[in-house]
Structure 1
Amino acid sequence: MFFHSWVVGGLGPEWAWLSRYGWMGVDLFFVLSGFLIGQQVLLPLSRGERLRFGDFYLRRAFRILPAYWVVLAIYVLVPGWSELPGLEPLWKFVLMVVNLGNDYGNPAFSHAWSLCVEEHFYLVFPLLAWWLTRRRAAWKVLSLAAFVVLGGIALRAGVWLHDTAAEAAGAPQRNWFIEDLYYPTWNRLDGLLCGVLLATMKVFRPAWWSRLQLRANAVLLAGIAVMALALWLFRARSGLLGNAIGWPVLSAGLALLVFAGAGTRSVIGRWHVPGAAWLAGISYSLYLVHKAVFKLVQVHLGESIAGWGVLQVAVYGAAALLVAALLHYTVERPFLRLRGRMLAPRGATGTQVAERA
């Protein structure tokens, strides 16, 4: 969230490190999503149950679309809400393709790009999981994983080399790193893949999962080491090295940390953080509104709180939390309750994993 403080010129020099590495939070989001949604889809398949595609897509629609459409309507109808001038065409937001063919000259509500990646994952993964589990074979999963990783490396490296050559040859100036590398779904599959592989091991190889959980602290240390390597690879965020091989390394490091935190045997797995459950509950609404709220705080309070240091950061954060909580309780929660009433009599998805996801 605070990585996006660039929309208000940053929050002071002591927070400048966020502009270098804070963007990695979205990759953690992809790993977590692959892990949680992967379990929802794979658990019934592992038991030989029929995957209820309609229920899955309906659950996703009730979870994602109501709050998203409310915020999108505010962006369209209330220009003063927007954190930046310019908005991609409305149809791209409606169809969830704002991350494809993006014009970064229209950056308002641009963070919806990651939601588009997530929606594409929702559409494809259940079908792919159903096909892979019809006749189970480990080689299928490993071959697909290798294809995604190696294909992604080759694709991103090719895009980087092409665009840098075009730029050197005098092509029109544009933010090709964001438009061609950072946003498109096909370049951002590594985190989702690592999360799904975690879910696959937990569902189909529970003995492996349990044995590795006995060494969760060792896995945690390995994750920290891999993350250190990822930070080094991305020391130039838009460089070739990071964008070629950095993404799978970063995703693997985050997946190791998620594994360590998914049980109670690691140091971080035993941590109890007061308020974390509530924050997790409003996190989607927080994702949707925080950039616009930052801008509104700057417009109305920016001069009066400038130089407050940590208190300045607290004001921006508290305002974002307040608006996010309002959206969560007035829009998200009612539609989640409606979803529960509609799906409970039909058996829902056959699993209670991440019920509120």
Structure 2
Amino acid sequence: MNHLPGLDLLRALAIVWVMLFHSFLVGGLGADFAWLSRFGWAGVDIFFVLSGFLIGTQVLQQLRRSGTVSLGGFYARRAWRILPAFSAVLALYVFFPALREVPGLQPWWQFATFTMNLLIDYERNPAFSHAWSLCVEEHFYLVFPLLAWVLSRRASVPRFLAVCAAVVLGGVALRGATWLHFAAIDPPRNWFIEEIYYPTWMRLDGLLVGVMLASLRVYRPQGWERLQQHANAWLLGGALVCAVAFWLFRERTGLLANTLGWPVLSLGFGLLVFAGAGRRSLIGRWRVPGMAWLAAISYSLYLSHKIALHLVHMWLAPSLQGSRVLLFLSYALAVLLFGALLHYAVERPFLRWRDRRLGVPASSSSHAAAQCD
């Protein structure tokens, strides 16, 4: 897929938003700027829609060309893309407890097997808990190519739409029933995180919307192009749908948010991704300086930013309390430096090594981290 400034912008905004949300670990942004971080958790859902679209496009294009998917090649590319940087950060968390943003850490094997999001004791072991979303993505990588291949054997629009509707309605029903059950018994643990927010089967809406966009692009390219002619209208529509979703999420742990909120939010982000996946919209037409770089290192930033925040909080914050601006800049600089170090020292070399082995042209590997690679 060609380099798309709109998707770079969305990915960069998503990672910045997530990091702003996690600033609560170091005391937050203060009352005047709390609005910047209040909905920052939704940055993860932008990543889910992007992953569904980009990985979905990659898999579906292969299916359309050859009628099959090279599972070995797909899983190998995903492994070399994900595991090196993840393993490096996991090693830091396991072997250097002083780097953890909080003391408690789930057993290492739960991270290594990407089951942490299903087994976590959040009250006691919340360190590196943001890896939950990576677990969801890994489960998607594992299942989606197989499911796509099975559905392609007897492909039809009604069957595809029926599957999509079943996933959305099933998610609404499952989250609603789970919420009602645990709200009634109110166990002495963070059941919202453990039973609703983290489990993979509760968080399929964003990935599904991304896959639906990919299906439209691959199997109905003429329809895709016709819709892209009105990209700015879809961009505005996406912003309005997101506003409705954030209204639903005004009580983030409430029943309304965790039934209807997730599909509405995913739809809104899906419209933004659609607008950014071409060059006719405002976000798709213009390159915002620095966004492509932030997008390229976003994975490393996501993995490492809590360590960077913690180090500044422990080492520099006590001496900078008199200047909130300087303290904020110190946090931001540390996060960027730590993420860039992980990207250039670990993530990028392994991507280049992988691409040499697979014979990918050098010109296409430079943007691999920021797009569908």
TM-score band by shorter chain is over 0.9
Question: Secondary structure at 2:139's aligned position in 1?
Answer: helix
Offset from partner CA, 1:155-211 (integer Å, 9 cap, x none): 0000100000001xxx4x111111101000000000000001011100100011100
1:154 shift after superposition: 0.2
Distance in 2 (alpha carbons) for counterparts of 1:221 and 1:309:
35
Contact 1:159/1:181, CA 8 A, preserved across alignment: yes
1:19 shift after superposition: 4.5
Question: Secondary structure at 1:35's aligned position in 2?
Answer: helix
Residues matched between the structures, number: 349
Distance in 2 (alpha carbons) for counterparts of 1:315 and 1:327:
18
Question: Secondary structure at 1:85's aligned position in 2?
Answer: coil
1:77 shift after superposition: 0.5
Distance in 1 (alpha carbons) for counterparts of 2:227 and 2:168:
24
Aligned to 1:113: 132
CA separation of 1:247 and 1:340: change in aligned 2, threshold 3 A: same
> What is the identity, as a one-letter code, of the residue corresponding to 1:52?
S
User: Match for 2:72 among 54, 79, 85?
Assistant: 54
Aligned to 2:328: 313
> What is the identity, as a one-letter code, of the residue corresponding to 2:277?
A
Aligned to 2:87: 69
Kindly indicate whether residue 289 of structure 2 is the aligned counterpart of residue 274 of structure 1.
Answer: yes
Aligned to 2:200: 185
Distance in 1 (alpha carbons) for counterparts of 2:368 and 2:343:
16
Kindly indicate whether residue 28 of structure 2 is the aligned counterpart of residue 13 of structure 1.
Answer: no
Distance in 2 (alpha carbons) for counterparts of 1:325 and 1:246:
34
Kindly indicate whether residue 241 of structure 2 is the aligned counterpart of residue 233 of structure 1.
Answer: no
Unaligned runs of 5+ in 1: none
What fraction of aligned residue pairs are identical, expressed as a percent?
A: 61
Contact 1:12/1:309, CA 8 A, preserved across alignment: no
1:149 shift after superposition: 0.2
Aligned to 2:11: none
CA separation of 1:42 and 1:300: change in aligned 2, threshold 3 A: same
Distance in 2 (alpha carbons) for counterparts of 1:332 and 1:298:
26
Aligned to 1:341: 356
1:257 shift after superposition: 0.6
Instruction: Between 133-142 and 316-325, report the one with greater CA deviation.
Output: 133-142
Distance in 1 (alpha carbons) for counterparts of 2:209 and 2:30:
35
Kindly indicate whether residue 50 of structure 2 is the aligned counterpart of residue 32 of structure 1.
Answer: yes
Aligned to 1:257: 272
Offset from partner CA, 1:20-58 (integer Å, 9 cap, x none): 311100000100010110111011111234311100000
Question: Secondary structure at 1:140's aligned position in 2?
Answer: helix
Contact 1:159/1:180, CA 8 A, preserved across alignment: yes
Kindly indicate whether residue 259 of structure 2 is the aligned counterpart of residue 244 of structure 1.
Answer: yes
1:307 shift after superposition: 4.6
> What is the identity, as a one-letter code, of the residue corresponding to 1:136?
A
Aligned to 1:211: 226
Distance in 2 (alpha carbons) for counterparts of 1:75 and 1:89:
11
User: Match for 1:134 among 136, 153, 161?
Assistant: 153
Distance in 1 (alpha carbons) for counterparts of 2:354 and 2:274:
30
Aligned to 1:159: 178
Instruction: Between 47-56 and 198-207, report the one with greater CA deviation.
Output: 47-56
> What is the identity, as a one-letter code, of the residue corresponding to 1:132?
L
Instruction: Between 157-166 and 336-345, report the one with greater CA deviation.
Output: 336-345
Distance in 2 (alpha carbons) for counterparts of 1:193 and 1:144:
10
Distance in 2 (alpha carbons) for counterparts of 1:179 and 1:46:
38
Contact 1:38/1:195, CA 8 A, preserved across alignment: yes
Distance in 2 (alpha carbons) for counterparts of 1:79 and 1:9:
21
User: Match for 2:212 among 183, 193, 197?
Assistant: 197
Distance in 2 (alpha carbons) for counterparts of 1:285 and 1:240:
34
Offset from partner CA, 1:249-277 (integer Å, 9 cap, x none): 00000000111111111112122111211
Offset from partner CA, 1:300-332 (integer Å, 9 cap, x none): 111222253444322211111101111111111
Question: Secondary structure at 2:253's aligned position in 1?
Answer: coil
Contact 1:20/1:237, CA 8 A, preserved across alignment: no
Unaligned runs of 5+ in 2: 1-18
Question: Secondary structure at 1:99's aligned position in 2?
Answer: helix
Aligned to 1:293: 308
> What is the identity, as a one-letter code, of the residue corresponding to 1:334?
P
RMSD: 1.7
> What is the identity, as a one-letter code, of the residue corresponding to 1:58?
A
Distance in 2 (alpha carbons) for counterparts of 1:123 and 1:53:
9
1:342 shift after superposition: 1.7
Offset from partner CA, 1:107-138 (integer Å, 9 cap, x none): 00000000000000000000011111122211
1:18 shift after superposition: 4.1
Aligned to 2:9: none
Contact 1:34/1:196, CA 8 A, preserved across alignment: yes
Contact 2:248/2:256, CA 8 A, preserved across alignment: yes
1:82 shift after superposition: 0.5
Aligned to 1:222: 237
Aligned to 1:326: 341
